[in-house]
Structure formats: structure tokens, C-alpha cells
Structure 1
Amino acid sequence: MKPEVPLLWLPGLLCDETLFQDVNKELPNWVAPFTCDLGADTSMQALASKVLDNAPDSFVLGGLSMGGILAFEVFRQAPQRVKGLILMDT
């Protein structure tokens, strides 16, 4: 059995975890998807720091639109923790 791989989704502006529900249903059972609540920080740097504070030690990172832009900042701050990137419409 493969170990679970955390997949952290970052939604686009004004979106939430429901954005990824259909995709999550199609993922293999060894992928553990979750979505970070982005809150209301006012900079990408602050949002990325919040994401990293709530993320596991290593993970695959996926983002749509603004979430993809944020994924680049998360990767810039902690490249050793990000094991892969999924960028959509960014």
C-alpha cells in the first residue's frame, strides 16, 4: 500500500473547498486532499505564511487562479516542503 500523499488545494479568489469536490472524488485513494482556509490577510507573503503554518511537513500543492499565484509564493518561501505543483489558470 502506498503512503498517503497530502494534496493541499489553494482556491481562487472568492472560492472555497467546494471548487475541488468533483476533482477530489476522482483522485486515487492514496492522495489525501485538503483545502486551506485563506482568511483575509492582505498580502501574498502573509497568506503563504499562514498556509505553511497549517500545512504538513511535505505536500503536493495545487492552485487555481489566485490560488496558483499564492502557490508560487508558498513555493518561494519553502521549496523543500513542496513535492509537486499543480497550477491551473494562473
Structure 2
Amino acid sequence: MRRPKPVYLSQLEEVEILWPGDVRMLAEFVLRAHDAKDQQTNLQNPGARTRSRTTLHGLAGQFAQITWLPKEQIETIFLAHGFNLGSVVEFD
């Protein structure tokens, strides 16, 4: 089974849940937080090459947790934009 293509931050620019750019902003925060945590993990474990990323499904869950909106509502918006919920979110 093939992996879905990644979704880049620039592709999330037009996705709006509560205000323009909100999804992209959260996605960038999550990516930067993962990179910071991975850097610490890799420094503590010589030879480790941890590189964490979230999927759109995971991002929908994080957005739902922060806003108290139903995750299914957010996922429906992602699907309406033509995204695969299994796609990994990545920097451009």
C-alpha cells in the first residue's frame, strides 16, 4: 500500500476552521515543537535519528483538543479541500 503524498504548510494556507490561516499556524507550531523535541532526543541518544511528524488526522485531533470543536468537523473540512487524512504534514 502506497503512502499518501505529504501535505506542505503552504497547502494549508487556504484551510480555515475559525479564522484565515489558523490550520497552517497550528501545523507550523506542531512541526517546530516536534523538531525541538526530536533534537533533544537525538542529542541524548547518540546515533538516534528521530524525526516526528503528524498526519492530518493527528492535526485534526490537536485542533479539536484546543478549540473543543468535533474532530470529525475538522476532518470533513480537510477532506473537502481534497486532502488525505493519512498524509504527513511537512515543511515546504
Q: TM-score, normalised by structure 2?
A: 0.31
Which of 1 and 2 has greater Rg?
2
Q: TM-score, normalised by structure 1?
A: 0.32
Higher helix share: 2
Structure scoring higher RCO (CA < 8 A, sep ≥ 6) equals: 2
